Structure 1
């Protein structure tokens, strides 16, 4: 088929007819015949990605089915780049996360809670807190969450070798990185108290 000439609409599949109509509505009347198939393939991949992400959000919220809110959230936050079957978790697109948060972080007053930090820009933070937990306590916590054997073992090894703490020290100035214990419920209250004290002091130091 020559460039710019299309098959008869009636002979085209319904999806192709709809795509051709979209192009027509946009004022595009001349294009290579393969454009229709390329656009259909792109649309299929996009929808598949959105639905896969929506399933992840739905599963995280412990819903029985995927609903419109999950799909809406997936469209707004396309931050995943696949799924890691070995660790049974989504793969975060770190570049997209940074791009998405950049404006919010530049405004200040934001707390970021995550189990890693090396991809976050140093300029974002005034202080970094790394939680540490005794291995026996951590093992029971992760086991209760249903972590598979490899994921559980690797997390315990990370805690033993203080991987996240070392990562924080390598990513930010040493004086802003602090460790906090997280073994029992009382630790949560103590940690919040320490963080609030730091915030109050920081505000005083920078209020003039």
Structure 2
């Protein structure tokens, strides 16, 4: 059972290789993070149904209530987890942009308390909002580097969307936003400022 965030097409290849050796293989998308490991995770399983039935009791014990599912043939488990992660990135980016607007406002808003407020009865209440609250209580945003790690899954989702011609502007933009975090000098914006100065006389701002 491969419970990692593996590339689903590679999982199909591994299934074929293992089958030739008489070994059963399941690709199992796993979600829930550290909390899921402690209290019950979410599993999306792809592969032969007979192999799934063998491990079903184990997944039942390891998962949250209603937190495991046989999603289809080989590759389906890791593919559905890929789409899950793509949705997650879009949600993370939206919350991050909301926090940025709150920080830029003229109001002295207690952000951790606002996140707690939003976690109770609001349309956007979620575990991610709860994590935002706890993160803001433990850290000052101004002390953090903007660098965001890229684990590549969302890039695979964008490549799939391009291949299938599926319109995913929010998810694609959330992937591109990662690259902005790698450029503390923001070279592209400096280049734009130079050109705008050249054609329109717009001011250049020096450090």
- TM-score above 0.5: no
- State the structure with more CA Rg: 1
Q: TM-score, normalised by structure 1?
A: 0.31
* Greater RCO (CA < 8 Å, at least 6 residues apart): 2
Q: TM-score, normalised by structure 2?
A: 0.31
